[in-house]
Amino acid sequence: MTDEQKYAVSEIVKSALGGMVVSIDQPRPNRIYVLVDQKDFPAAAKVVYEQLGGRLATSTALEVRDAVELIYHFMLETEMVLCNLKTLVMKPELKVGSVGAFLPGADWIEREMAEMYGVTFEGHPDPRHLLLPDGWPEGNYPMRKDFPQQPGTESGETKPVVY
Amino acid sequence: MGLKTAALKKSIWVFHVACSPCNNCDIEILDLLTPRFDVERFGIVLVGSPRHADALLITGVANTHVTPRLIETYRATAKPCVCFLFGACASHGNFFRGSYNVPRRIDEIIREEDPNAIIVYIPGCPPKPEAMIAGVVKALSVL
Amino acid sequence: MKKTILPIGPFHPLLEEPEFFTFHLDGETVIDVDVRIGYNHRGHEKLATGLTWDQVPFLVERICGICSTSHPYAYVLAVEDMLGIEPPPRGKYIRSLIGEMERIHSHLLWLGLAGHFIGYNTVWMWAWRYREEILDACELLSGNRNHYAMCRVGGARRDVSQKALDFTMKALDTNEKSTKMFLGAVADDPVIHKRLKGVGILTKEDAIAYCATGPTSRPSGVRWDIRETDPYDAYGESLEAGAWKVIVTENGDVFDKAVVRVLETLESIYLCRWLIENMPDGDFQVVPGEMHEGEGCGHHEAPRGEVFHYVRSDGSNKPIRHKVRAPTFSNLPTYKASCPGEQIADVALITAAIDPCYCCTERVGVIAGGKHSSLTQDDLVKLSVEKTMEIEKRMGVKSVLNKFK
């Protein structure tokens, strides 16, 4: 695949997603960043997975000022381009439709994002803890900025560490 | 030297407790069993249950999830037993001290459970297999 | 229907990380599997946001000791993607060489353990002995047997000497012979055929749906290899030069997974040799320059599949977000597709075939009809060994396993 062919992929993605695209950017030939609206998000992911044949590499959540940003990294293997599908999930509700409902590969990563950032994935088949212990207290989301870099104990309360 | 310690030092049976390791110390421990190093010629055998073990080989840091299981394993081991802390993580926490999921050092956890525990530190990231053998020999010679 | 629940974990007397499996059984047949992980969660992603850009490679190296160059590799690719840096050719070749050496030692490690699980302990001892030569070469190239610390933003962290390269060449030669010997042993042994073929099949559709990567998906006929589809460093050039090829098979069973790994080991040996022969002279690193705002993705084909890293910068000296995805994270859930319908004696093998940072048990409790009995991991391996012996008996082959009785 030459660079020109890779740059043409953003047009393919744009036409496939249609009106759902808020903005699309291709800073390098093998990286596309697409922003879609929160309510269109699972539908857009379904299009990338089923129509464009994307393989979900993983997804990233990160905290911005009044939202949590979700980025689903789809690798389009035949086009040799990484398509990053982004959305902003607004605080304080932090609710978004689940991709794991139709894509088993997204099951675990959504469980992880739910416990780390407190995002609720509506329609997720198995919304349990993945990495944190079962007794972890409700409302403590370790990857949030306001969570201190302090260890928790088995019962859940945090205490300063002495080394 | 008591009878129990004398018996302990003969042919040491070990149980491997991987707390939250990066696998590196673990594969080096397994390496000790394979032809290059072959510690079985000294009577050191990896066993399948802590109840059969004379020594615990502990690797990694203890996170919140694994801490109660580590204590349980230590309780299940026949006393006297030696705790070998392999690697920088087990010895002092390495990068991971101060992580939200790593509350305490392993030696603190074991000391709290049993103040008289015999703890041997073998530093390195990972310690070379030669260093591991040297550490075990050194520990047994001072017991 | 009466179900038996078989918990396995979290500690395992032989292998690496703690994990906890719950198998739902009907007789000896597995009908459902659940995996509980989290015994190994150390909070890397949060810790990385407290370190500077150049400290993070040392942290991510300690995610996994077996693929300990894959994580820093993917991380530096992500940062280079963000900053638009092009490392000098020698730096690229050194990084790729270390990456491939790691693949050889990791696949040999897996081969040995797979041999152990079906009761062929000789295979275990042999594979690990031949692996030592590769580790020696790694030690001479980088200074350590495992954590190599050879990746740095803008190239390799240190140069390699000609002496080390010559030694590596020799180690590769001896290793090629032993790997070919293994290939002959695996491909010809009728007992291994009987034991591994048709066991734990992962279909192509399941591999795609679960987004499995690496030697878990390629045996199922899914041609996904990041070195080919998003070429980086020396991989694009070497593929064009025909130094190696992607191995894909069709059946998706444990046998194919073993064959893919053995063949990949050979391909890695050829690639390493090509890299050493074509190693360019000159600088091996560049100064990265000013940090600016942005985001970048990097991925590397680790021995177990694709390692994916994402970084975001706000222009300061620390990342504000660093996302890590290890290959086992997407390969592990394929248990759900490949275990049901199999026998419990095969489970140890199927789980090992994925080459997870695999883990099993200190004690297995069987709860059947209110009665409690206890099995150790040894018993689980014994079940597996007994099945091999039974097959041998049925085939009229003289057993090599008698001493394991």
Domain ranges (residues) in chain C: 4-40+332-404, 44-329
User: Which residues neighbour C9 within 8 Å (Cβ) at sequence distance 6 or greater?
Assistant: C18, C19, C20, C21, C36, C359, C360, C361, C362
For residues A97 and A121, the answer to whether their CB atoms sit within 8 Å is: yes
Would the CB atoms of C46 and A149 count as touching at under 8 Å?
A: yes
Cα–Cα distances in angstroms (integers) from residue C58 to residues A15, B131, C234, in the given order:
43, 22, 23
Contacts of C348 in chain B (CB under 8 A): none
Instruction: State whether residue B105 sits within 8 Å of chain A by CB.
Output: yes
| Cα–Cα nearest to C187, from C249, C269, C268 | C249
User: Which residues neighbour A159 within 8 Å (Cβ) at sequence distance 6 or greater?
Assistant: A150, A151, A153, B103
For residue B3, tell me if it sits in a domain.
Answer: no
Contacts of C45 in chain A (CB under 8 A): 143
CA distance C321 to C48: 8
* Torsion over CA: B81, B87, B90, B91 (sign): positive
For residues B86 and B55, the answer to whether their CB atoms sit within 8 Å is: no
Residue B1: predicted pLDDT: 60
The total number of residues shown for chain A amounts to 163
E runs forming strands in C326-399: 364-368, 371-375
The total number of residues shown for chain B amounts to 143
Cα–Cα distances in angstroms (integers) from residue B41 to residues B34, B129, C143, in the given order:
11, 15, 29
Give, for A81, the enclosing helix (H) or strand (E).
strand A81-90
- The structural domain count of chain B equals 1
Q: Write the DSSP assignment of A6-68 as a string of letters.
A: HHHHHHHHHHHHGGGEEEEEEEETTEEEEEE-GGGHHHHHHHHHHTS-EEEEEEEEEEETTEE
CATH number of the CATH domain containing B129: 3.40.50.12280
For residue B113, tell me if it sits in a domain.
Answer: yes
For B48, name the nearest residue in chain C, comparing CA atoms only: C13
Min mean pLDDT across A19-33, B30-44, C334-348, C385-399 is at C385-399
Sheet holding A54-64, edge to edge: A21-28, A31-36, A81-90, A67-76, A54-64
Domain boundaries, chain A: 3-93
Cα–Cα distances in angstroms (integers) from residue C82 to residues A59, A135, B31, C114, in the given order:
18, 39, 39, 40
Residue C365: predicted pLDDT: 26
Cα–Cα distances in angstroms (integers) from residue C305 to residues C67, C224, C301, C347, C355, in the given order:
10, 9, 5, 21, 10
For C78, name the nearest residue in chain A, comparing CA atoms only: A31
CA distance A110 to A72: 10
Three-class secondary structure assignment of C272-293? HHHHHHCCCCCCCECCCCCCCE
Contacts of A159 in chain B (CB under 8 A): 103
Would the CB atoms of A163 and B103 count as touching at under 8 Å?
A: no
Please give the interface size between A and C, counted as residue pairs whose CB atoms are below 8 Å apart: 87
**Cis amide bond preceding B126, omega within 30:** yes
Q: From the CA of B124, how many Å to the nearest CA of chain A?
A: 19
Of A62, A80, A142, the CB nearest to C230: A80
CATH superfamily assigned to domain A3-93: NADH:ubiquinone oxidoreductase Nqo5 subunit (3.30.460.80)
CATH assignment of C44-329, among 3.40.50.1820, 3.90.1150.10, 3.40.50.10260, 1.10.645.10: 1.10.645.10
Q: Which residues of C27-58 are buried (b: 16+ CB within 10 A; e: fewer)?
A: eeebbebebbbbbbbbbbbbbbbebebeebbe
Contacts of C306 in chain A (CB under 8 A): 57, 75
Of C41, C296, C323, the CB nearest to A131: C41
| Cα–Cα nearest to C57, from C291, C363, C374, C309 | C309
Instruction: Specify the residue for token string 């074509």.
Output: C278
For residues A93 and A82, the answer to whether their CB atoms sit within 8 Å is: no
CA distance C35 to A105: 15
Is pLDDT above 90 for B121?
yes
* Torsion over CA: C257, C259, C265, C269 (sign): negative
Burial of A45 (0-12, 13-18, 19+ CB in 10 A): buried
Contacts of C36 in chain B (CB under 8 A): none
Please give the interface size between A and B, counted as residue pairs whose CB atoms are below 8 Å apart: 43
Q: From the CA of A109, how many Å to the nearest CA of chain B?
A: 19
**pLDDT band at residue A53 using 50, 70 and 90 as cut-offs:** confident
Min mean pLDDT across A68-77, B2-11, C59-68, C254-263 is at B2-11
Percent of chain A with pLDDT over 90: 31
Q: From the CA of A105, how many Å to the nearest CA of chain C?
A: 4
**Chain A touching partners, 3 or more CB pairs below 8 A:** B, C
- Residue-number span of the structural domain to which B106 is assigned: 11-142
* Torsion over CA: B55, B57, B63, B69 (sign): negative
For residue B36, tell me if it sits in a domain.
Answer: yes
Instruction: Specify the residue for token string 């036409």.
Output: A15
| Cα–Cα nearest to B101, from C119, C180, A132, C293 | A132
Residue C392: predicted pLDDT: 72
Residue C114: predicted pLDDT: 82
Instruction: Specify the residue for token string 């047994």.
Output: B140
* Torsion over CA: C76, C81, C85, C88 (sign): positive
For C337, name the nearest residue in chain A, comparing CA atoms only: A104
Q: From the CA of A16, how many Å to the nearest CA of chain C?
A: 20
User: Which residues neighbour A6 within 8 Å (Cβ) at sequence distance 6 or greater?
Assistant: A29, A30, A79, A80, A81
Residue C159: predicted pLDDT: 92
Interface test with C, best of A62, A73, A116 (most C CBs within 10 A): A62
Pairing mode, if any, of strands C321-325 and C20-26? unpaired
Q: Give me the tens of pLDDT residue by residue for chain C, a chain 405 residues long.
A: 567 777 776 665 445 566 677 778 887 788 887 777 777 778 788 888 888 899 899 988 888 888 889 999 999 999 999 999 999 999 999 999 999 999 999 999 888 888 887 888 888 888 898 899 999 999 999 988 888 889 999 999 999 999 999 999 999 999 999 999 888 877 788 888 888 888 888 899 989 988 888 888 999 999 888 998 889 889 989 999 999 999 999 988 888 888 899 999 999 999 999 999 999 999 999 998 888 899 999 999 998 888 999 999 998 888 989 998 888 888 888 888 888 888 877 777 777 776 665 332 222 222 222 233 344 555 666 666 777 777 777 777 666 554 443
**Cis amide bond preceding A92, omega within 30:** yes
Contacts of B126 in chain C (CB under 8 A): 65, 145-147
The residues pairing with A81 across neighbouring beta strands, listed in sequence order, are: A76
Cα–Cα distances in angstroms (integers) from residue C400 to residues A12, C111, C189, C191, in the given order:
59, 18, 12, 11
Stretch 1-60 of chain B: residues touching chain A, C-beta under 8 Å: none
